[in-house]
Copies of this chain bind each other. A is one copy, B any other.
Amino acid sequence: MSIERWVPLFGWLRSYNRKLLSRDALAAIIVTLMLVPQALAYALLAGLPPEMGLYASMLPLVLYAIFGTSASLAVGPVAVAALMTASALSNFASPGSPEYIGAALVLAALSGLILIAMGVLRLGFLVNFLSHPVISGFITASGILIAISQLRHILGVEASGHNIIDLMGALLSQWQQVNITTLLIGLGVWSFLLVCRKRLNTWLTAIGVSASIAGLIVKAAPISAVIATTLLAWGLNLEQRGVALVGAVPSGLPALALPNLEQSLWLSLLPAALLISLVGFVESVSVAQTLAAKRRQRIDPNQELIALGMANLGAGISGGSPVSGGFSRSVVNFEAGAATPLAGAFTALGIMLSTLLLTDLLAFLPTATLAATIIVAVGTLIDLPAVKRTWQYSRSDGLAMVATLLLTLLHSVELGIISGVVLSLGLHLYRTSQPHSAVIGRVPGTEHFRNVKRHQVETDENVAMLRIDESLYFANARYLEDTVMALAARSPSLKHIVLTCQAVNVIDASALESLEAINARLNDSGAKLHLAEVKGPVMDRLQHTDFCRELTGQVFFTTFDAWQALAHPAEANSPLLPTQREETTSCNSDTPR
C-alpha cells in the first residue's frame, strides 16, 4: 500500500494484460513518430546538440512511467521549457559549448530535485499562485518568441536574442545573408504542415478515413516532412549550397553521469530551475487532469510532482535537457488509446531504436525543417483572443496577463512570469483590501435587506446596517475602521451600527483588533456596535475574545432580528426577548450555519 503510494507502477502493473499492452504499444509507435522530430527541434531551440533532445526522451519517460499517475501524459522535451532553458543558460555560456551543455544538465537535475522536494513536502499548492491569466499570457508570449527565434533557421542566418527586440534586430541586420535554398525548404515544409493541419483532416475523412485515424495521420505529418527533406538534402547534397543540416548525431545510448556539482553554478541556476519546474508542472497537471477526467480517472498532483521530478533528474544524469508533459503529444497519446503510463516507456524504447538506427540519416536533416515544425507546433500555444476575453471579464486579471505577455516579449521570460505572479498577487490583495460594502435597509414588509443605493428600502436614522462582502483580515481591517467611522461621523444621530457578516468567512487577529477599536470608538461617540449573521466557524472563534465581552451591542442571529430589536423600540419589547436571549447566549453558544 505505502509502496504503491510512492510507486504507482506496482499498483496498476498487477492488472496489466495483453489487451492493455497492445493499446499502449500502438500509442507508443504514433507518439514516437511525433517525438523524434520534436526532440531534435526542441534541442535546437534550447541551443543544445540534437542528441540531447533524444536522450531527454529515454530515461525520463521510463521514470515517469514508474512514478506517474497519468495514463496519458506524454513526458519529454517541450517548446516552452526549451525556450526557458535557452534563456537561462545564455547567461552562463555560449550555446553548444561544453559549459552550456553542462549547465543544461545541472538545470534538469536541479528542476528534478525541486519538483521532488515539492512533492515530498506536499507543496503542490504553490503552483496555485501562477494564475491562469499569467500562465496564458506567458505561454502566448513564449510561443511568439519561439516562432520568431526559429525564423533564423528558415532564413539560414545567424541571429540570437531572448526578447523580441533583440531577435528582430538581429534578423533585420542579417537580411543580406539569407540562404535561398534554406528558405525554400523552410517555407515548403511550413506550408506543407499548415496545409496538413488545416485541410488534410477533411480530405481524409472525405475519402472515408475514420476521424480518429485521420487525426493521427495529421499529427504524423511532421515525420514525413522530415523524411522527405532529409532524403532531399542527402540526394541533392544540399550542404554544398549552404543549407544547415543537423549534422552528425552520435549513435547509441547516453552514458549515465552525475552533472557538474559546482555549488556556485547550482545556486545561480536555482531561480531559473524553479521557474521551469513550476511552469512545466502547471502545464503537465492541467493536460493530465483534463485527459484523466474524460475517463473519470484522477491524478494525484503531489505524486505528479515526484514523477516529473524523477523524470528531470533522470534527464540530468542521462545527458538530457529539462522535460515536462507535452500538450499535443499527450492528446495524441490519449487519442491513440494509451491505457497505462507504460505507453511512455514503450515510447522511450521507440526513441532508443531510432537513436540506434536513424542517426546516420538524421545527420542530413535540414534545421529549416525542424524550425518549420516548431513554428507550426507553437502556433497552438498562441492565444491572443484570450487577452481580450480576460480583459473584458476582469480588468485586474487582464492587466496581469498583458503585463506578463509584454514583459516576456520585450524583456525576458524570467522577468515576464515573475512580474506576472507579483502583479496578480498584488492586485488580488489590493482588491480584497478595499472590499465591497453596502449600507442596507429593509425591503418593506419582508425580512429581506438590500443595498439602499440599489433598492427602495426602509431605514432608521438611529440605526445603520452595513454589509461587508469580504472576509475581514489585516489587509482590509483598517479600511473597515475607516468605513464604519465615516458612517458614524456622517450621521451624529446614530445610536446603533449593525455589521451584517454573512459574507465574512474569516476574521483574523488584525480585523478583531479593528473591531475592538471600532467598538471602543463608537462607544466614545455614544453609539453601539452590533453584529448579525455571523457564521458558525467565525462565531466559534469570537466567543472567548475580549471583543465579545466588551461588545457594546448584541450579536443577532439574523439582520431582521437586529432590525426588530433596534429599529422599532416601541413594538420591540415582545420580539426583543428571544433576540436578547439570542444575544446573551450568542457569545457562548455557536450560531447555526
Contact = CB atoms under 8 A, between A and B. Distances in A.
Interface centre among A128, A396, A473 (most CB of B within 10 A): A128
Contact of A129 (B293, B392, B429, B450): B429
Contact of A290 (B294, B401, B521, B535): B521
B436 A505 contact: yes
A508 B435 contact: no
A389 to B, nearest CB: 8
Chain A residues touching B, majority SS: helix
Interface residues of A, number: 77
A165 interface: no
Contact of A509 (B133, B470, B592): B133
A404 interface: no
A431 interface: yes
Contacts of A546: 389
B506 A431 contact: yes
Given A394-B541, A425-B429, A521-B290, A509 B132 contact: yes
A331 to B, nearest CB: 14
B125 A294 contact: no
B128 A517 contact: no
A505 B474 contact: no
Nearest to A132: B510
Interface in A427-477: 428-436, 450, 469-471, 473-477
Interface in A499-525: 502-503, 505-506, 508-510, 512-514, 517, 520-521, 524-525
A134 B475 CA distance: 12
A352 to B, nearest CB: 35
Contacts of A478: 127-128, 301
A129 B486 contact: no
B477 A128 contact: yes
B131 A290 contact: no
Interface string A531-564: 0000101000100111000000000000000000
A525 B450 CA distance: 40
Contact of A125 (B296, B469, B479): B479
B428 A474 contact: yes
Contacts of A393: 509, 512, 541, 545
A521 B293 contact: yes
B128 A489 contact: no
A23 interface: no
Contact of A131 (B289, B474, B545): B474
B505 A435 contact: yes
A132 B474 contact: yes
Contact of A525 (B296, B474, B482, B524): B296
Interface in A384-427: 389-390, 392-394, 396-398, 401, 424-425
Contacts of A482: 301
Contacts of A129: 429, 433, 474-475
A481 interface: yes
Contact of A479 (B128, B131, B389, B486): B128
Nearest to A524: B294
Contacts of A430: 125
B289 A470 contact: no
A488 to B, nearest CB: 8
A96 to B, nearest CB: 38
A362 B48 CA distance: 75
A195 interface: no
Contact of A293 (B477, B503, B525): B525
A478 B132 CA distance: 10
24 contacts: A125-B434, A127-B478, A128-B474, A131-B474, A131-B477, A132-B509, A133-B510, A290-B520, A293-B485, A294-B521, A296-B489, A296-B524, A301-B478, A392-B544, A393-B541, A393-B545, A394-B509, A394-B541, A396-B508, A424-B474, A425-B425, A450-B592, A471-B471, A503-B503
State the 7 A-B residue pairs at the shortest beta-carbon distance, nearest first. Answer: A131-B474, A293-B521, A397-B509, A132-B510, A296-B525, A131-B510, A469-B505
